[in-house]
Amino acid sequence: MLQGTDRSSRGRSHYGADHGVLVHELEIGSLSIRAEMAAPLVDGDAKGSWWRGYIEGRRPRAVNASGGRLRVVDLFCGCGGLANGIAHLCDEMGVAFVSELAADEDEHATAVYAANHGTRLRAHESIRHLVDYGVRLTPDGARFTYRPEILDEDGDRAIRGADLLVAGPPCQGHSNLNNSTRRSDPRNSLYLTVPAIAVAAGTPICIIENVPAIVRDRHRVVETAVDLFEADGYHVACGVLSASEMGWPQTRRRHFLIARKDRPPIAIGDIAAVLIDEPRPLWWMIRDLEDAERDPILDQPSELSAANRARVEWLFRNDQYDLALDIRPDSHRAGTTYMAVYGRLRKDQPAPTITGGFMTPGRGRFTHPTRPRALTPREGARLQGFPDTYRFTVDPCRPPTRSLLAKWIGSAVPMPLAYAAALSALGPGLPRAVTEAAQ
């Protein structure tokens, strides 16, 4: 497994304040960024203040703007978490983030994505129907049986003109929470549609994200994808990034595969080293939402069943963070390896991985640290890096259901992880089409 390609790309990232303006300076690979944000410095924490400014909906301004347009295609896009981090880096570089295509079987999610990222084209059919390809194994590794071909005419035009292809194929088949189909889920093969589409369209840069357990897939989809990319002339870097190790208040980790045609991506380990920081606590992110009632949808906690209400109240009455076995469901009372389930969050620690069950105490450690309730959609969204200005309701007459909100938010890639992956992909330099557009 490739862990990176170039260990010589060490750089630096510095946050500071200058006359009431926050400043971020970053140098890595061929990128030299200086960006400013009109936001206050709080508690002397310049980086934390920068992120809080982002969460409040403030956008950075590039001082040494690169100019140009980065045309992006997003497959398995959900409601746009991965795009948030890439768009944030584009703002810091002074490059326009242009969403050419957002594809996902959930048409409501793509509507949210388009409302926030100005997407030109949306696709709702299964991604496997977008491309025709075959894979064979050879002594030198996996190869395409024939040149992949994009089947949809509109999709072909959008994808063929893109500078960056990003994708988050379904990860349930790889998750350690999925005991029945782990590592052999048929959805895992969707991973290989991404290199097929990139090769078919000649896309210069590609980012694929998934859970860290993807590397143990029974069908070795990551190794196969690396072979397919490299056989077509791409340079590839792979590795795992941790949100908390970059200072974000969530312990989420994701695996990234970065493929680039013209030159090697910056090694994932080098990106992690440049962005390393002490994790901030959960309370740093959500303390002002303790009793928030600004939005009847996003600030409203889920109704608890009588049994779950009793469990949550027991935690607070006894000042505990793990539920006792004798008041757990019968299936837990003989002992469980999932002690975090029904657990209470700690104010002074990062949140655990936010999942699609974050609004239900019985789905993980999702009970609020100071109130007898689960996290609200807004609290979960912040922990995933969605700014408060992000529109989850596209049609006010048809607000999203709570199950949709939980799925969209819990399945998203936190903004700092997507930002870091974009640095790996774009750090060696912007694609030629972007720089030419700036001239």
Position 334 confidence tier, pLDDT thresholds 50, 70, 90: low
Instruction: Classify residue 105: in a domain, yes or no.
Output: yes
> What does the pLDDT average to over 306-324?
95
Position 434 confidence tier, pLDDT thresholds 50, 70, 90: confident
pLDDT of 257-269, one tens digit each?
Answer: 999 999 999 999 9
pTM for the predicted model, two decimal places? 0.92
Please provide the average confidence, as pLDDT, over all residues in the chain.
91
Residue 310: CB atoms within 10 A of its CB come to 12
pLDDT of 413-426, one tens digit each?
Answer: 999 999 999 999 99
pLDDT at position 332, please?
66
Instruction: Classify residue 169: in a domain, yes or no.
Output: yes
Position 4 pLDDT exceeds 60: no
Position 145 pLDDT exceeds 60: yes
Q: What is the CATH number of the domain that holds 75?
A: 3.40.50.150
Position 173 pLDDT exceeds 90: no
CB 297 within 8 A of CB 393: yes
> What does the pLDDT average to over 38-55?
96
Instruction: Classify residue 363: in a domain, yes or no.
Output: no
pLDDT at position 189, please?
78
Percent of the chain whose predicted confidence (pLDDT) is above 90: 81
> What does the pLDDT average to over 102-109?
96
Domain housing 125:
12-281+413-434
Position 321 pLDDT exceeds 50: yes
**Active site (catalytic) residues:** 171
Position 171 pLDDT exceeds 50: yes
> What does the pLDDT average to over 396-400?
93
CB 222 within 8 A of CB 191: yes
pLDDT at position 154, please?
87
pLDDT at position 59, please?
96
Number of domains in the chain: 1
Instruction: Classify residue 58: in a domain, yes or no.
Output: yes
Tokens of 208: 């694929």
HEC assignment per residue over the chain? CCCCCCCCCCCEEEEEEECCEEEEEEEECCEEEEEEECCCCCCCCHHHHHHHHHHCCCCCEECCCCCCEEEEEEECCCCCHHHHHHHHHHHHHCCEEEEEEEECCCHHHHHHHHHHHCCCEEECCCHHHCEECCEEEECCEEEECCCCEECCHHHHHHHHCCCEEEECCCCCCCCCCCCCCCCCCHHHHHHHHHHHHHHHHCCCEEEEEECHHHHHCCCCHHHHHHHHHHHCCCEEEEEEEECCCECCCECCEEEEEEEECCCCCCCHHHHHHHHCECCCCHHHHHHHHCCCCCCCCCCCCCCCCHHHHHHHHHHHHCCCCCCCHHHCCHHHCCCCCCCCCCCECCCCCCECCCCCCCCCHHHCCCECCCCCCECCHHHHHHHCCCCCCCCCCCCCCCCCCHHHHHHHHHHCCCHHHHHHHHHHHHCCCCCHHHHHHHC
Instruction: Classify residue 346: in a domain, yes or no.
Output: no
Instruction: Classify residue 263: in a domain, yes or no.
Output: yes
Instruction: Classify residue 133: in a domain, yes or no.
Output: yes
Instruction: Classify residue 345: in a domain, yes or no.
Output: no
> What does the pLDDT average to over 9-36?
92
